Structure 1
């Protein structure tokens, strides 16, 4: 029953998106850039927001449901979340604020903002390296097991 309801909702949102896209294409780029038909873009954005909210809600509900029904998965999930939090904390500690002035639209970036950007970049690099090592390890393990 839930599957049928979700299919109907997906079909309705798909049709609304298609109609909105056709209206945008029919108006043309210049009409939208000049603002004549700027109102055509808003419905498409609202449809995208609705779809995003629905997807996030379903992901959260099913992840939480699965965590409580599968206790061994809960342990592994908590280990993964803890490792991710550790990477973020270590990245924040290692990165330093930059005293150089960066211009933003709102003004000048503060040292705290610069510190957060540095922490994000450090965490990104660490996670990329971990992901690459995991893929290499998995590939080597498959080759050895054959």
Structure 2
């Protein structure tokens, strides 16, 4: 039953997308650009709303099935929680290591606070830690694969 409903919904969304695409193509680039310059986006908006709706549906299905799989398979749940814990530890370490920058930065014409600067520094350090970890893991995996032959 659910399969039939999803097939009908997919067909409806596909037909709507096709109709809106044909409307956009028939209108032409120049007409759309000049209308958008005057603030009229009514030609492109329906197509964008269909795309947003499809994206939301896809995200909901991914989250629902991911959570279903996590809670039905306890080994996967354990490994996921370990990964989340390690990621949280990296973020905490990065925050503790980073410091506020004494230089004053402007964002949108306003001075950035020391806390915001601290968070940006922590994000950069976390990125560096994760990129080095990924590189080491790939190198280790490659060496292990070569030596196991």
What TM-score range do you get, normalising by the shorter chain? Answer: 0.7 to 0.9
Match status 1:140 vs 2:143: yes
SS of aligned partner of 1:38: coil
Distance 1:75 1:36, change over 3 A: closer
| Deviating more after overlay: 26-35 vs 126-135 | 26-35
SS of aligned partner of 1:83: helix
Shift of 1:51: 2.3
Shift of 1:20: 3.4
Match status 1:105 vs 2:100: no
2:58 is aligned, of 55, 59, 70, to 55
In the TM superposition, 1:1-146 aligns within 5 A as: 1-25=1-25, 26-29=27-30, 30-35=33-38, 37-105=40-108, 107-146=110-149
2:61 & 2:87 partners in 1: Cα distance? 23
TM-score by length of 1: 0.82
Shift of 1:106: 6.1
Shift of 1:101: 2.4
Higher radius of gyration, 1 or 2: 2
Shift of 1:90: 0.9
- Assess if the C-alpha contact under 8 Å between 1:97 and 1:118 holds in 2: yes
CA RMSD of aligned residues (A): 2.3
Shift of 1:75: 0.8
Distance 1:100 1:60, change over 3 A: same
- Assess if the C-alpha contact under 8 Å between 1:27 and 1:37 holds in 2: no
TM-score by length of 2: 0.80
Shift of 1:87: 0.8
SS of aligned partner of 1:99: coil
